[in-house]
Amino acid sequence: MQSPLYTWLSIAFLVAAGTTGDCLMSRAMKHIGDPGEIMRQQGLGTVIRRMSMSGRIWIAVFFMALAFFALLFALSWADVSLVVPAAASLTFVTNALAAKVFLKENVDRRRWAAAVLVCCGVALLART
Amino acid sequence: MKPRHFLVLAGMVVFSSVGDILLSRGMKGIGAVSLSHGLQLIPAVFNPWVSLGILFLLGYFVSYASALSWADLTFVVPATSFGYVLIALLSQLFLGENVTVVRWLGILLVSAGVGVVARSPHLTKDHEEAPAKVFSPALSAASEGNS
């Protein structure tokens, strides 16, 4: 088992990279449109071509890959019952903040309440 | 939301939960990887458990990208947190793990959060950037016929 400092640093990096990837992916997919609808009308090839030619998707995938490797480091240093819930609970709050600031989503009280409830719930699940 | 949208959200829950468990199983078999030997992570990708975990996470990625095309990020992320509840319940039912009172409280809070977000609209903003137009031969022929 590695030092807790390394574990928490990798979790912090995982949360930052994951949130960046989530925001970029959300913006890219809103621009591309619903893959299900596109596939129904134009086929799977169009969906693959449209997504693979989107620069935003690739930047989002890059940040998600960074988050993935941070997850692998963290999982090799600490238990999954700590790493996954801790990273997820922090990501709920950072995602809500980033969605409001960068994506201009209407994060009303209900959405904040949901993020905080899920964050606390996941933190409690991680204690056992 | 259409029934297909609920299926996409359910797919996210299943793919991410199973994928995380498979990755954990694989990485525990490999052992601790130090930062100075970070390249050890490359062969880790070929471990069967890690490979299967990556396949499941690819399924999660496809479902996630699809969900983000028709819903807010702040709707999709909490709505799929039900996976944590699923793991806790399955671990008690099938693995005989003890689910403590604290854990039940956690399950209650996550479920409440999912319930709250599920009652809100899945898309709250008209996006300035319109989605790329979908070409429809039928619509195109009709508009040509009108002109």
> Searching chain B, which residue's CA lies closest to the CA of residue A126?
B103
Which residue has better confidence, A81 or A15? Answer: A15
Which residue has better confidence, B70 or A2? Answer: B70
pLDDT in the model for residue A45: 87
Query: What distance in Å separates residue B68's CA from the closest CA in chain A?
Result: 5
Q: Verify whether the Cβ–Cβ distance A115 to B78 is below 8 Å.
A: yes
Burial of A119 (0-12, 13-18, 19+ CB in 10 A): buried
In sequence order, the 6+-apart residues with CB closer than 8 A to the CB of B24 are A75, A80, A84
- CB contacts, 8 Å: A105 with chain B: 72-74, 124-125
| Residue B121 clears pLDDT 80, i.e. is over it | no
pLDDT in the model for residue B112: 84
Q: Verify whether the Cβ–Cβ distance B68 to A111 is below 8 Å.
A: no
pLDDT in the model for residue B95: 61
Q: Verify whether the Cβ–Cβ distance B132 to A124 is below 8 Å.
A: no
Q: What is the mean pLDDT of chain A?
A: 85
Of B66, B84, B131, the CB nearest to A30: B131
The model's pLDDT over A67-104, given as tens digits with 9 standing for 90+, comes to 988 887 887 777 766 787 778 778 888 888 898 888 88
The residue ranges of every structural domain in chain B are 3-30+42-124
pLDDT (mean) for B79-91: 74
| Residue B135 clears pLDDT 50, i.e. is over it | no
pLDDT in the model for residue B79: 78
The model's pLDDT over B19-75, given as tens digits with 9 standing for 90+, comes to 877 887 787 777 777 666 767 777 778 889 889 999 998 899 889 899 999 888 888
| Residue B140 clears pLDDT 50, i.e. is over it | no
Number of domains in chain A: 1
What share of chain A has pLDDT > 70, as a percent?
95
Q: Verify whether the Cβ–Cβ distance B109 to A121 is below 8 Å.
A: yes
Of A51, A118, A125, the CB nearest to B103: A125
Pairwise CA distance, residues A68 & A87, whole Å: 12
What share of chain A has pLDDT > 90, as a percent?
21
- CB contacts, 8 Å: A72 with chain B: 23, 27, 33, 41, 44
pLDDT (mean) for B93-98: 68
ipTM > 0.95 for the complex: no
Which residue has better confidence, B122 or B128? Answer: B122
Q: Verify whether the Cβ–Cβ distance A118 to B114 is below 8 Å.
A: yes
pLDDT in the model for residue A66: 92
Q: What is the DSSP string of A79-109?
A: -HHHHHHHHHHHHHHHHHHHHHHTS-----H
Within 105-124 of A, beta carbons closer than 8 Å to B belong to: 105-108, 110-111, 113-124
Answer for the pair B124, A100: CB distance below 8 angstroms, yes or no.
Answer: no
Of A36, A114, A127, the CB nearest to B66: A36
Q: What is the mean pLDDT of chain B?
A: 75
Answer for the pair A78, A7: CB distance below 8 angstroms, yes or no.
Answer: yes
Q: Which residue of A6, A20, A102, A118 to mutate against B (max B Cβ within 10 Å)?
A: A118
Q: Domain range holding A16?
A: 4-126
